[in-house]
Structure 1
Amino acid sequence: MKDWSSHHYLKVFIFILVPMLLLIDKNESYDLQNQLSPYLFWGMLLFSILLAVMVAKSVEKRTQMRLRQLKEELDSLRNTGKPLSVADDHFGEIAQSVNDINENLSNKQRINKAILDSIPLGIIFYDDQGKVMYVNQKAYEITGYTKEEIERFTVKGNILNHSEYVFWKTLHSGESFFGFESFCPTKDGREIPVMTSTKPLYDSESKQMIGIISTFIDISEQNRLRKVEQHAKVMLDHISDGVITVDNFGVINGFNRGAEEMTGFKTEEVLGKYYDDVFIKRKTIFTKLTQTLRSGREYSNYKKEMIDVSGEKVFLMITTRILRNEQGKQIGAMGIYKDITLMVELEQQIQRAEKLAVVGELAAGTAHEIRNPLTTIKGFIQVFENELKDNDKKQYIHLVLDEINRINEIIKEMLLLANPSDSFKKWMQINQIIKETITFMSAEGAMYNVELVTDLQEELPLVFIDEGQIKQVFVNMIRNAIQAMKKGGIMEIASLYNPIQQRIEVIFTDHGEGIPEEQLPRVYEPFYTTKHDGTGLGIPVSFRIMKNHDGDLQIFSTQGEGTKVVLFFPIQTDDSFIDGQE
């Protein structure tokens, strides 16, 4: 028999029952029994009622079956994503609507997942109990774990070690944390350093916290680069040369300790600033770097003189280079500034020594040729002096003898310049020699209205020197200072111990006319003098004596303000004594 559907039964029921109801009309004057037999009437009515009950039961049964089917399909949809079956009934319309909604949601979920997987951060979503609910693709790549393995983790387990406190504080208080470092263990047993942030998530309607989002990024490479950068900075800071780097816009991004000492700026003061803005007042020295940056022209060993932050004159050797990345693209420029002041001074000293040697040899030969006949002349004049009775004429003899003695003194200095006499060195107190020299030079100072004042450091180490030669140096320095102070005044003589350089410094300071800057390098040259009665041998001879004592003589002068002469005496701590006692 054909299996009729419920709506077929409903049609039969309506076909039989409706005509019967139409026959029953209360306004009619005859009875229904006169139209139909009673049995037929009640039979049809009973059949219609039974048929209606059967239809209702069938509809209920099919509805329950359809509901069970929908429930099963909804479970399948939730687990597998399989769409609901669509039948030709009202439930089919509902199923189609659910499928449409599910497809729309699936598309949005795929887009959201694609977005989350494309983010270069590991993202983990925990529910309000701390259970892992979602992990994006980058988190899988960083950890090496599979989705199933990570989904079994809890915050107390394998993900983001050492961050449990932050996690639970976020979960319990709703407080967010950003940019703290922790470690993420990987499947192969490593612990990767990561930068982590945690943030609570709230339901948009109930405003209840539903979990937290934890993001992390692998900073292994950043840490490695940071260590490389720190290592490079340590190396650069231990280089005495100044090194400055700028980017393509001229912004300073590198500044080592040597540059700090050379310029007087601290690294934190200049980083991130435009190079030209920082060194606008020193364009003659530091514009080579910006010229290289703009024109591409590199400089090698470019020498320049400048005044440093302490006001001292220094000589720099400048080298500039274009900086390029691995692809050869320009990324900035670098300037290297080497302080060659000591090298320049050494070259000058060598030049002076060579001049002294040449002039000394010439002077020695000339002095011997002059000294011999001069001795004869002096002897005969002394004979004439003894035989001469006229006292008025004797004064001319005395004048001649004084000039001959002055010539002899000049010859002695010329011989000393050529080859200093044999030294008789011994351990001595430098302050004692200063005091003795001042004792017999005070009278000469008084003649020029110059007062000699001392500032001597006590308990200086002993120095190994020739007393006679060092006294001659002191006399030359004091005499030059007295003669330079034409208006009189105070001349200071100081001594001090420099423990860093392991030397004693004796400083002569006058407040005279000073030496013009262009003449200052020439004062070391033999026979160069600006005094009408000078010989030009005092400073060269003194310089030669100091060099023979492994010391040095340096002159600093400002025209119109005065001159400072510094003598350097090296000491040997193992062999030197203080106050003459072992």
Structure 2
Amino acid sequence: MMKTLRSKLLLFFMTITFFSLFVIAFVSYNSQKEAMETQLERSFQLYAQGLITSVHNIIDEVSRDVGYLSANPVLKNPDASTEEIKEQLEEFVTYFSIFEHVVLLDLDGTVVADIADGRFIGYNVKDREWFGRALNGEANFAEIYFSSLLEKPVSVIAVPVTDNEGNLVGILSPYYDLVHLWDYVYAFSELQKEIGNHAYAFLLNEQGDVIGHPEEEQILTRNYLRDFNLSESILPELAASDGLFYNGQNGEVGMVRQIPHTDIFTHNWYLGVAVPEAELMSPLKNLLTQYLMIFLFVLAAMWLAIIHFSNYLVSPVERLLKAQAEFSEGHKPDPVPVDSYQEINQLSSEFNVTMAKAVERENIHKKSTLILEATDNAVFAVNTDTLEVTTFNKKCETMFRKNKSDVIGATVKDLNESSESFRSIEEHSGLIKRLETETSLEDFEFTCPIDGEERYFYILFNQLPASENEDKKEILVIISDVTENRMMLKQLIQSEKVKAAGELAASFAHEIRNPLTTIRGFIQLMEARGIGEQGNSRNYYQIILQEIDRINGIVGDLMNLVRPNGNTQLMEADVNELLEDITLLYDGQVSSSKVAIEKELDENVPTFLTFGSKLKQVFINIIKNAFEAMPDGGSLMIRTSYNVNLETVDIIFTDTGIGMDADTLENLRKPFFTTKETGTGLGMPTCYMIIEELGGEIKVESEPGKGTVFTVRLPVKLKDAGLKGA
């Protein structure tokens, strides 16, 4: 009976399982009991600390808010009226919702201002302890007490108020809403109910009075120490202890922690967290029942598993041995099924992986060899220690006129000596030095002559991983001939230049032809009538001169468009000062044009390196256009601002002029486009070119009849601006 493998496995595993389950159940029960107590202790510590932090934050918030109010200049002014003080107190309570009331006391303890329509004015509190401390210059919290005046528990803060010379002028006494404090106690208790237990939190003062509890009727009516015959010294002892305390009188387990003091909060308040002890022990009783059920279930499952396991224990071993034999004979066996126990599964998996890697390695080698030989790029690999060439594809053979068999195993220095093409590439790229030092192995482009023709090449480097059996490092070098791409790019750029020049020439000819036609017509008219035979010849001369001046203006604007102020120098410029200087020039024109100039210049705008004269040209052109857009008068607002994060300066020009339609906005930066009778249409294109040259941008927003907004954005860092010649 016991000689079979199945019976031996059954007896062995059942014995081990029974003994193991018994030990596990015994140890788990005791450890679970200890763990539950430890977990409860840690949970209470976290709960208590979180609630203490919340209460302490409220105290800090109240302290800060009252500090702000005590620094109010109206309250510090002894001559301020009651209405002025009341207005400040109302604004404070409206803004800081944690306070429900606030009063101002004189030095005799009498209320002189409140926010309850004078309900508390005249009420005297000089006998209160907190008032005496405040009168001595000490800001302090009062203990929570039941106010007969407000008919509910309250707590006040007393803060001295001094004038600008430091003289005490009054006592500020805000009443903060205790609901904000109690909400944390209530929220904790409600949360515990939602998760299925009856834990709750409460607040005590140092006399044991309940000052915060989920059952509000206990607040200031129940004394915790008196109810359980405890001394006042027990609270500091419990707060200093890290463990739980068991209250046998009410069957609760709990923890007590003290609220930390602050500069103005010196009371000894204690926060407690408690839960019925019966709830702590209930999970352990359920645990015993669960262990018994699990014990029986595992025994039955183990019996069935051992019987099933013994049936297929031998078959996977036989399958693996058969596959191993086929693989050893050079055949490719089918993958061994991985459906047995761990040891056999691991052997089967490793066997399948090994077989798959061998097949994959062979396929990858074939594929990579085909790709390497078929590519149009010259590809070779170099051993970084010896500089020996380990890979050399067909493109390399063609480019360097060397056979692979002659190069593999030789060094790149040998290749440099025997191949004229490689030597030319090496001289212009420093390839061998880069490979020797393994530095500057970044992709780069260079030119060099090959067979008397200048060629463009791009070199890429790639670090090859070392094989499993070798630790040598290799670098893959890929040389691409990009000459045709570069030639096509140059032709494309040249064609774009020719196209742009043609468009500009056509526009220029159109603009020049108009004044020339006028000049020619007047000269013909003068020739037909005779210079001395009529009295309007002087007017003709003036018109001819005006048309010639117009031609000069068009040519000048065209030169500015091509190279605006090309001889200007970089300088540290202050945009605000530039605008002040420019608007000063328009002071005389403001009254005659009925245009008012307003400025809002940001003092935080820094000076930065730029072309000051070019900026002046842009600003003057925009201001001039704004004046012309307001023939019947209006206003021009100029604002500056500095964006610290983007490191940019915005100059915004806002006018109330006639505005621009969509067509004008779309063509604003096109040369020779203008809506003015005497305009050249080159001013705004020049402005766009200058600002873009400085690395910035111009944005325009406008609607007919609603004015125009020009926004000029400039970077303050030269490296970001892309300035030419910088």
User: TM-score when scaled to structure 2?
Assistant: 0.31
User: TM-score when scaled to structure 1?
Assistant: 0.37
